[in-house]
């Protein structure tokens, strides 16, 4: 059986689907969800200029609004990833 490999950031999976980025393992108690709300062209590359970060419980038996534990907004993907890594590390301790 082959194992699917994902990009990782600080040892945790990082998966993008459209403008949504999932950070962490869905088998853990928490995962980070980042939504790119706005971006601008810098040369040939789209650069995120508004990212919403949310810390979610992964328990699907809980209603979605109750699963969201923390929310923040950052002006770059770099800043969003920085806070996401801290939130997830603390939540999983």
CA R_g for the chain: 14
Gap between the Cα atoms of 40 and 49, Å rounded: 7
Contact between residue 68 and residue 52 where contact means Cβ atoms under 8 Å apart: no
Q: How confident is the model at residue 1 (pLDDT cuts 50, 70, 90)?
A: very low
Contact between residue 48 and residue 39 where contact means Cβ atoms under 8 Å apart: yes
Q: Which residues of 32-49 are buried (b: 16+ CB within 10 A; e: fewer)?
A: bbbbbeeeeeeeeeeebe
- φ, ψ dihedrals at 27, nearest 5°: -80, -15
pLDDT tens, position by position, 3-12: 567 899 999 9
pTM, two decimals, is 0.87
Contact between residue 53 and residue 83 where contact means Cβ atoms under 8 Å apart: yes
pLDDT tens, position by position, 64-83: 899 999 999 999 999 999 99
pLDDT tens, position by position, 13-65: 999 999 999 999 999 999 999 999 999 999 999 999 999 999 999 999 999 89
């Amino acid at each position: 059986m082959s194992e699917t490999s994902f990009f990782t950031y600080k040892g945790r999976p990082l998966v993008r689907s459209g403008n949504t980025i999932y950070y962490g393992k869905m088998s853990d108690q928490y995962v980070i969800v980042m939504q790119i709300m706005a971006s601008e062209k810098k040369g040939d590359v789209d650069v995120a200029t508004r990212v919403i970060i949310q810390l979610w419980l992964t328990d699907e038996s809980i209603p979605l609004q109750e699963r969201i534990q923390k929310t923040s907004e950052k002006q770059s993907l770099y800043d969003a990833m920085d806070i996401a890594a801290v939130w997830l590390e603390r939540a999983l301790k």
